């Protein structure tokens, strides 16, 4: 086991924090170490609330608890749930559940890594001696290009942690995103779509190297007690960042209207703990 730095407390790191740390360490510092938040717009808040309640709906269904009150609040809840169950019979059909030894909704898992606790929350985790399957419910539109999601720290961290905390080999682990509000572009009918990512040893080793690099850099920056590095201006991310003025990267008139309190994309927002 790697020795923990004695001058730093053990800190939990999630996929959302790794995403931000990879893009802009200074924004990570403002958000998570200085605890400077940004207000959501009404539209962003509404989407977050809907997504959180859908996750609660799926958890209650998995536990066998009544869900009538939740589905009665919004007809889209029932529509998305019914569409998801119909589109993924191998996941939700009781006849297919005897082959697995473990099944849990909103399963939290942690892994100690170089002085930090890597923390993940699986919307649904299904395990057998031969296979580990992670499922994640997405309530935002399905991306046209799967590459950004493959490179996202949610995909990478979730697959890595599951492999490291079980006896499964990397090739036996997979993660499937279900886009529960996807609609057929021709008919407009609800048609939830999956996007699956399979793990492998090469990818696992690369993730370990990247985790080592990021956590070692984070430890060094924290011990240095100096401002963290900033994202390059050429990336074009500063004008819409709520910390642009604080970072001396812009003035109020440089930030587009409505973005002074901008949140990251829904894909980057951490899972809601239920």
Q: Which two tokens stand for residue 147?
A: 């590459």
Our CA dihedral for 185, 187, 193, 195, rounded to 10 degrees, sits at -30
Q: Which two tokens stand for residue 217?
A: 């850099």
What pLDDT score was predicted for residue 128? 94
* CATH label of the domain that carries residue 219: 3.90.320.10
**Apex 269 CA angle, 264 and 274, nearest 5:** 155
What pLDDT score was predicted for residue 260? 40
Is 149 within the bounds of a domain? yes
Is 246 within the bounds of a domain? yes
What pLDDT score was predicted for residue 10? 65
- As a whole number of angstroms, the distance between CA 178 and CA 196 comes to 9
Is 273 within the bounds of a domain? no
What pLDDT score was predicted for residue 9? 67
Is 5 within the bounds of a domain? no
Q: Which domain holds residue 28?
A: 11-268
Number of domains into which the chain is organized: 1
Q: Determine the length of the chain.
A: 274
Q: Average pLDDT, whole number, for the chain?
A: 87
Task: Give per-residue pLDDT as tens, 192-225.
Answer: 999 999 999 999 999 999 999 999 999 999 999 9
Is 4 within the bounds of a domain? no
Task: Give per-residue pLDDT as tens, 250-274.
Answer: 754 444 444 444 444 444 444 444 4
Is 3 within the bounds of a domain? no
- Using alpha carbons, list the distances in angstroms from residue 213 to 11, 46, 265: 16, 36, 25
DSSP-derived secondary structure letter, 45: H
Is 2 within the bounds of a domain? no
Give the predicted TM-score (pTM) of the model.
0.86
Q: Average of pLDDT values for 145-168?
A: 97
Does 100 score more than 90 pLDDT? no
CA 247 to chain centre: 27
Does 184 score more than 90 pLDDT? no
Is 193 within the bounds of a domain? yes
């Amino acid at each position: 086991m790697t020795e923990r730095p004695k001058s730093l407390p053990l800190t939990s790191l999630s996929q959302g924090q790794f995403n931000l740390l990879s893009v802009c360490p200074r924004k990570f510092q403002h958000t998570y170490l200085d605890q400077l938040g940004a207000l959501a717009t009404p539209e962003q808040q509404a989407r977050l609330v809907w997504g959180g309640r859908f996750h609660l709906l799926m958890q209650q269904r998995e536990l066998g608890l009544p869900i009538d009150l939740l589905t009665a609040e919004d007809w889209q809840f029932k529509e998305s749930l019914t569409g998801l169950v119909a589109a993924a019979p191998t996941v939700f059909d009781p006849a297919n559940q005897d082959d697995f030894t473990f099944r849990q909704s909103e399963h939290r898992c942690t892994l100690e890594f170089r002085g930090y606790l890597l923390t993940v929350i699986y919307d649904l985790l299904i395990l057998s001696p031969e296979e580990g399957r992670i499922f994640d419910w997405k309530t935002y539109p399905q991306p046209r290009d799967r590459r950004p999601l493959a490179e996202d720290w949610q995909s990478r961290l979730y697959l890595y942690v599951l492999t490291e905390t079980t006896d499964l080999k990397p090739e036996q682990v997979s993660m499937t995103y279900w886009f529960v509000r996807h609609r057929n572009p021709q008919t407009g009918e609800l048609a939830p779509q999956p996007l699956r990512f399979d793990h492998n040893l090469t990818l696992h080793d690369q993730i370990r190297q990247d985790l080592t690099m990021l956590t070692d850099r984070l430890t060094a920056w924290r011990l240095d007690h100096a401002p963290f590095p900033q994202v390059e201006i050429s990336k074009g991310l500063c004008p819409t960042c709520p910390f642009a003025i604080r970072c001396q990267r812009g003035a109020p008139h440089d930030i587009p209207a409505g973005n002074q309190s901008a949140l990251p994309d829904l894909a980057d927002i951490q899972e809601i703990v239920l």
